[in-house]
Structure 1
Amino acid sequence: MANKSSIDSIKEELLILETKMATEVGLRLNMLRGLHSEQFESGKNLIEYLTLRKEDLRSLQDDLHVHGLSSLASSESHMHRQVQAILERLGKSYTEEELDMCTYSFSKKRIKDKSQQLFGKQLLEDIPSLMVTFDSGFADNYALVKSLLLSGMNVARINCAHDDEATWSKMIHKIKKASKQTGLDCKVYMDLAGPKIRTKLLGKGKEEGEIKVKDGTMIWLADDAKGFDAEEVVISPNEPGIISMLQKGDRVFIDDGKFGGIVEKVKKNKVGVRINRVSSKKGLIKNEKGINFPDTILKIPSMTAFDRSCLPFICKHADLLGYSFVKTVEDISILRETIKELGVKNPSLIIKIETHEAVENLPSLLLEGMKHRGFGVMIARGDLAVEIGFERTGEIQEEILWICEAAHVPVVWATQVLESLNKSGMATRSEITDAGQSANAECVMINKGEHTLEVIATLKNILKRTASHRIKKRFRFRSLKIAEKFMAG
């Protein structure tokens, strides 16, 4: 027989949590009423989930499990109703009006409906939708586009950081033609390029477009090559104002983290970075490679002048608009106001989580995005891994999935999915495991490569095998820093 005092203790703790959830929701009612009407219950559940996740509930979870009760794991989408269900088992009675309408079945349907709204109807309902990144060559290859659609592509991704409107138009024409001919729906997703923080060699190696560096090399970041010797390595981050934002001790990563360094010297209009990690075999820093500054608060807009010039075309042709390098609520507000000023239709919004700041601000970003009826999140794991550290990527992508599930916000799992298979025709073992993890998202993005059709076939096979297992994990609720930060705000 269960110990009565321990049962009473569990009940008391759950009642306290329920009161806290009601209090936090009450404090944010005005915020919740500002969401799209179809997002209200989802926003409310997000607040309730974050209320619990600012606490360390591991001991309570163990007690619940020992007594044969739900440990609250896998209840992100209907947290308050799950607490109520446990309390009912422990003797508390609720009126019909008191019971939270956000049940397991309600939330499951809500996420399914939102995913279908964003990514279209799927032929295989038990696996995530498949998004395929288009290469320039797709614009002149109708047979390939049709084959991708027949193989299971639900969403075609066009990255506006590459090519131009003429090429994008060709891609869209072939997508629409293939969709009409096959009778299969395919959504068009277009990314805003965002600020292009990329290498531009100004000094040594400028003519070749690459420069060899090794551990201990001092490289300089500057907007121009004035005052440097011909043998010095000078690189522009290709975005005005960044140099003045850097401070001594800030980390700098180049080319997806293949090169790492520390800001050692700060001078007028230039900073010296001492390279302390070279992971590339050839040790070549090339033009047009990404640069990340994880310790630096970059006060540059997420939307550039180029992005603004692309918006009329994107809003006319795209079903989904991808917003790159979103960091703050203001970034989303600026995009919304810009679209309103242009007087064009508003595609469904997908914000890309790819910076440390975006992770910290995730709950606020979700609530701002949920002012839209159609809204989703992309975990852009390439830049994100460099920004937060590769060793934290697995942990953070799980946290993003949990928080988005609590908000009933569909997630796109992106970057390097089966990338070796796509480029070389052979997948690594770790890639297969990673692809299996992607079953926890509502959509999986495949990058461009030579073996895209094979990647789709392999990914579908993996997802079919793992989808039926994915809700059986049991997570423990230690306190989440993201939740603590939001609830304290």
Structure 2
Amino acid sequence: MDSLLDLQAELIHLRDGAMALERQLEPEIRRCSEQYQSSARNLVHYLSVRQGDIRPLQHRLSRFGLSSLSAMEPYTLAHLNAVINLLQSITGRRCETPQAPVDYLSGPQLLRQQRRRLLGELPPSVKVGAEAGAAAGTEASVMVTMPSQAAAEPQLVADLLASGMNVMRINCAHDDASAWRAMARHLRSAVENGASPARIQVDLAGPKLRTGPMQSSGRLLKLKPRRDLYGLVLEPCRVWLHAEADARLPAGLH
């Protein structure tokens, strides 16, 4: 019973953290269009839960036959509420249940709607195979990054569309504007000739977004030969690599 109480307390702590982050980001959430605010709140809850490593908690939940929180993306708070409520019925320890922005029905529905709005309808070649996944809100789109030769080979683009591509990704860190226009032109031409429609995503060149702050690895060891005032090498730099840290270095080596 103590272990179940501990699990309940940890889940409540996770949920409290999700609600606290929602309150912190409330001004940003309200800037979203009203039709996206429920999804934005759900995303904030999920990001809060995933800020730490919950694998030990997931393992302990599984030991008791409880949900391991491994598939809660479409309805994070509702899923936490469900597991906590189940534990409440076992432990008898009650707590207030916050209102979830999406539930097990509306969450997957919103996910499908937003996916289709952003990425377009699934092409017929993959729609049948995705029907089972669609019931769980997990339709999959196929995005293909265009290689350089796609600018000169319209048949390559047509073949990709026929194989199920429904998002063409053009990476502007490569090639040039004329090549990018040619890729888009080949796609539109293929669609005009009967291929399934596809969206075009253009990634601009520049700094890349990261999942979190880059941690400093400390100063690197810099080795260089000894030079004279004119930059001429007087003595090469020699390095001794050894598996053991306490190995004695030969004279003159670093």
Given the two structures, how large is their TM-score scaled by the length of structure 1? 0.35
Q: 2:44 aligns with which of 31, 42, 47?
A: 47
* 1:139 matched residue in structure 2: 151
Counting only pairs closer than 5 Å after superposition, residues 25-64 of structure 1 correspond to structure 2 as 25-54=22-51, 57-58=54-55, 60-64=57-61
Indicate the residue corresponding to 2:196 in structure 1: 184
Q: Where in structure 1 are there 5+ consecutive unaligned residues?
A: 196-247, 251-261, 266-273, 277-489
Q: Which residue of 1 aligns with 2:62?
A: 65
> Deviation digits for residues 336-359 of structure 1, max 9, x if unmatched?
xxxxxxxxxxxxxxxxxxxxxxxx
Match of 2:184 among 172, 192, 207: 172
* C-alpha separation in 1, matches of 2:112 and 2:60: 33
Distance 1:19 1:164 in 2: 49
Aligned 8 A contact 1:41 1:102 in 2: yes
Matched residue pairs, number? 199
For 2:100, the equivalent position in structure 1 comes to 100
- Are 1:151 and 2:148 matched, yes or no? no
Contact 1:249 1:264 in 2 (8 A): no
Name the residue aligned to 2:246: none
Q: Which amino acid counterpart does residue 108 of structure 1 have in structure 2?
A: P
CA distance in 1, matches of 2:27, 2:111: 24
Q: What's the CA shift for 1:264?
A: 4.1
Matched-pair identity in %: 30
Using CA pairs under 8 Å that are at least 6 residues apart, name the structure with larger relative contact order, 1 or 2. 1
Gaps of 5+ in 2: 131-138, 208-217, 225-236, 240-254
Pair 1:132–1:88, CA change in 2 (3 A): closer
Specify the code of the residue in structure 2 equivalent to 1:122: L
By how many angstroms is 1:70 displaced? 1.5
Q: Shift of the alpha carbon at 1:149?
A: 1.5
Counterpart of 1:107 in structure 2: which amino acid? G
2: CA distance, partners of 1:189 / 1:50: 25
Take 2:178 and 2:54, find their aligned partners in 1: how far apart are those partners? Answer: 55
Q: What is the letter of the counterpart of residue 102 of structure 2?
A: C
CA drift at 1:82: 1.2
Matched to 2:41, the amino acid is K
Cα drift, residue 100 of structure 1: 0.8
Alignment partner, residue 172 of structure 2 = 160
Q: CA deviation at 1:57?
A: 4.4
Counterpart secondary structure, 2:144: strand
CA shift, 1:84, in A, is 0.8
Partner of 1:21: 18
Report the TM-score, using the length of structure 2 for normalisation. Answer: 0.62
The SS at the match of 1:11 is helix
Secondary structure, counterpart of 2:77 in structure 1: helix
Change (3 A) 1:166 1:58: closer
Q: Structure 1 117/54 Cα, relative in aligned 2: closer, same or farther at 3 Å? A: closer
- The 3 A distance-change label for structure 1 pair 187 and 263 is farther
Distance of 1:68 and 1:35 partners within structure 2:
38
The 8 Å contact of residues 158 and 195 in structure 2, kept in 1 or not, is answered as no
Q: 1:210-256: per-residue Cα shift (whole Å, max 9, x none)?
A: xxxxxxxxxxxxxxxxxxxxxxxxxxxxxxxxxxxxxx944xxxxxx
Output one character per residue of 1:48-94: Cα deviation in whole Å (capped at 9) or x when no partner: 33433455545543443333222222223422211211232223587
Tell me how far apart the structure 1 counterparts of residues 60 and 143 of structure 2 sit (CA, whole Å).
Answer: 42
2:161–2:195 contact (8 Å) kept in structure 1: no
Which whole-Å deviations, capped at 9, do the CAs of 1:352-407 have from their partners, x for residues lacking one?
A: xxxxxxxxxxxxxxxxxxxxxxxxxxxxxxxxxxxxxxxxxxxxxxxxxxxxxxxx
- The AA in structure 2 aligned to 1:76 is E
Using the TM superposition, give the Cα deviation of residue 176 of structure 1 relative to its aligned residue in structure 2, in angstroms. 0.7
- Structure 2 distance, partners of 1:86, 1:24, is 20
Mapped to 1, the partners of 2:53 and 2:157 lie a distance apart of: 49
Distance across 2 between alignment mates of 1:146 and 1:55: 44
> Is the contact between residue 14 and residue 87 of structure 1 (CA under 8 Å) also seen in structure 2?
yes
Counterpart in the other structure of 1:297? none
Q: 1:130 aligns with which of 142, 145, 151?
A: 142
Corresponding residue SS for 1:179:
helix
Distance 1:105 1:54 in 2: 26
SS at match of 1:129: coil
Write out per-residue CA displacement over residues 410-462 of structure 1, whole angstroms, 9 at most, x where no aligned residue.
xxxxxxxxxxxxxxxxxxxxxxxxxxxxxxxxxxxxxxxxxxxxxxxxxxxxx
Higher strand share: 1
From 65, 80, 83, the counterpart of 2:80: 83
8 Å CA contact retained: 1:139, 1:168: yes
Larger Rg: 2
